[in-house]
Structure 1
């Protein structure tokens, strides 16, 4: 496994700033996506930022509060998030999706699709788009996968229930235990993948949930490549999981910071976002790639 630091400081995550390579500063802890040109698009302390293959970092949008990130074939960027509002005399967290178009226009979608007066992570989680243009959210506040149809402005629970657990099944008969770092990944056949505590779970297009691998480290993120290999992280380790569930582990010792998000580009390169003493974006290639 070959690892290079693409951008970000190894020694600070304070005062995020655009720049090139190590001169750029990330807050860290956001989600990653890749566009058709190989740029890494990420959420960073609520902002939307881009990293080129040359390590140039620019801020795309400061409107909204970005968390999970997905990109459609035209280059429009979608994100999960929430907005803090006031209901009567009390604060409320209102979940929404948002779009940053190729023409740099920002708009909110599905405003207040769920809300909470106490839970600040409502609406947050990894986001992906399937081949039909539907968006799927790893709804970490409710341990479930939610499907959004942008064209019809409708949403529904796709898999999982509010109760935590690791039960396989179909749709709401299955259970997940999601964390605030829960990425959501999707393969070329529109199968979804998510980490649920120490397991990797697969959600088929019909909502059937199965367990692919288990007894991993209890926290970690997830990505999948076009060949069907699944990547998930632990404490200074990246696991590469084949479709048959076999696991090969690679030590990730380029930083002591925690891996907080993973994504694979169309060429099979893996990218890891980290947060800790610093916050960086790493590019990773594997043997035989």
Structure 2
């Protein structure tokens, strides 16, 4: 199944997306939620084992400190990301699906923030988990940025996002750069902007004449690893850029330590 999204629209959101921690308390309107709803389930074959659920009046889920800029405040609407642990690739599926929700939300003018581990797990689980194999992996704050987020805090967040980004030659190899197919460097730049836990950027792209292979760098590459969620986000960023730039191809998922291979020319028409 060819992923159902507007690649050019999402590609424009990649450099705009940033973590918003201060919201103005308003709930997200129904028409915006309706626009996001198709991306809460399998809008691509790569989303197997992943789903999202909206919760309103859910600001009490946040219980801890998030990042160097303090608590998430003023949140009303939350997206809960749930994985089916019986599906080996559920973590990369959640990264892919969740970032799709976030890019589309950004296109609607909404603020977002990926969060894992700093919210009320038991309350979240009791409200949304359906079966013994399901696990809440992350949540996403969703709403309208507060005025202060539009000022200094927004600038700090953008600076933090760009700070210490690995250079292209640290996240990609294979063919010499001057032999890379047209558009691949731009797609890798989009992947380079993908968010990851503590900005670890645990991905590596091997460029070949017929495709690009994405793998997990370092230990913790096995199924169910949080690094595979990070790589699922980078996988979507690469795919969005490739489609926006006219590069035909599809991701084929692979086992550890690899995540997938984007095979050129395999896209459905």
TM-score norm. by structure 2 comes to 0.29
Q: Which structure has more helix as a fraction of its residues?
A: 2
TM-score norm. by structure 1 comes to 0.27
Structure number with the bigger relative contact order (C-alpha 8 A, sep ≥ 6) is 2
